[in-house]
Amino acid sequence: MSCRRGALIVLEGVDRAGKTTQCQKLVHALQQSGRAAEMMRFPDRTTKIGQLISSYLEKKSNLEDHTVHLLFSANRWEMVPLMKQKLEQGINLVVDRYAFSGVAFTSAKPGFSLEWCMNPDIGLPKPDLVMFLQLNPNMAANRGEYGIERYETSAFQRTVHQRFEELMQDSSVNWKVIDAARTIEEVHKDIKLLSECIISLAENQPVGELWS
Ligand code: Z5A
């Protein structure tokens, strides 16, 4: 395989931080500059596992907490062959939420340690860059009411935010914190710059394994 690999770029952040907006803008900008880029999102609600998760999030069904955590992880693992294939083809993948959301959300529930939550995702393709869109709860509230899906309450989201802060202490992951309280264009400019740098750095290196 002679072509340079694509970079795996992840956007994480609290509810309404602008992850989806920024993923879409980044993919568009990279494509406009002549780079191959595609967006993925987790959960991927299109697969059979994703449909179980979607029904749970929409509160149409209940699942035991360990079980749903493992389903979120399985939903990432089922996409790994496709992710690896695309990266090898030189396609840059821009991913809306990844294992970090998985750990932050489940470990915000009583009785779950970060360590237990990280275990099923050990060995996933390691992101070359994880950008955390930082937004305080008051600013998030100004972007509209919380939705009706599970987890969409301010108390739970505050605990999720603390778990993300703990995850960001891990220097084995290339975290960058982005001030998401600015305009969409200002945030995009930073994200694009960081992404262009990491694409150049990643192209000659093998894809790593997360948390291993
Ligand atoms: N979850 C889990 O438990 N375990 C896992 O392993 C994974 C996920 C992967 C589904 O998430 C839920 O699954 C999620 C985590 C959990 N639960 N919660 N909460 P989802 O990805 O399907 O949906 P979402 O993550 O809830 O979307 P979001 O966080 O609400 O939104 P966002 O992507 O961060 O923001 P947005 O859609 O781009 O923008 C939100 C609004 O703000 C919109 O009106 C924009 O126009 C506006 N916006 C965006 N940027 C700006 C700026 N800069 N200024 C002003 N307004 C802005």
Q: Regarding predicted confidence, which is higher, 137 or 44? A: 44
**Mean pLDDT lowest for which of 42-46, 96-100, 118-122, 156-160?**
156-160
Mutate to test the pocket of ligand 1, among 21, 57, 106 (most ligand atoms within 8 A of CB): 21
Question: What confidence score (pLDDT) does residue 139 get?
Answer: 82
pLDDT for 89 beyond 60? yes
| Pairwise CA distance, residues 154 & 208, whole Å | 35
pLDDT tens digits for range 147-197? 788 888 888 999 999 999 999 999 999 999 999 999 999 999 999 999 999
pLDDT for 144 beyond 60? yes
Distance 148 CA to ligand 1 centre (A): 13
pLDDT tens digits for range 30-45? 999 999 999 999 999 9
pLDDT for 142 beyond 90? no
Structure tokens at 82: 């496709």
User: Is-contact 180 57, C-beta < 8 A?
Assistant: no
Q: Is the CB of 15 under 6 A from ligand 1?
A: yes
Question: What confidence score (pLDDT) does residue 141 get?
Answer: 75
Distance 29 CA to ligand 1 centre (A): 20
Question: What confidence score (pLDDT) does residue 2 get?
Answer: 57
Question: What confidence score (pLDDT) does residue 66 get?
Answer: 98
Mutate to test the pocket of ligand 1, among 97, 183, 186 (most ligand atoms within 8 A of CB): 97
pLDDT tens digits for range 22-78? 999 999 999 999 999 999 999 999 999 999 999 999 999 999 999 999 999 999 999
Sheet (strand 37-41) strand order: 37-41, 92-96, 8-13, 129-134, 175-179
- Band (pLDDT 50/70/90 cuts) for residue 114 is very high
Q: What is the 3-class SS of 128-151, one letter each residue?
A: CEEEEEECCHHHHHHCCCCCCCCC
Question: What confidence score (pLDDT) does residue 140 get?
Answer: 82
Q: Percent helix, strand, coil in the chain (nearest 5)?
A: 50, 15, 40
Question: What confidence score (pLDDT) does residue 128 get?
Answer: 98
Question: What confidence score (pLDDT) does residue 138 get?
Answer: 75
Mutate to test the pocket of ligand 1, among 10, 59, 101 (most ligand atoms within 8 A of CB): 101
Distance 38 CA to ligand 1 centre (A): 18
Distance 18 CA to ligand 1 centre (A): 6
Amino acid at 115: E
pLDDT for 1 beyond 70? no
pTM: 0.97
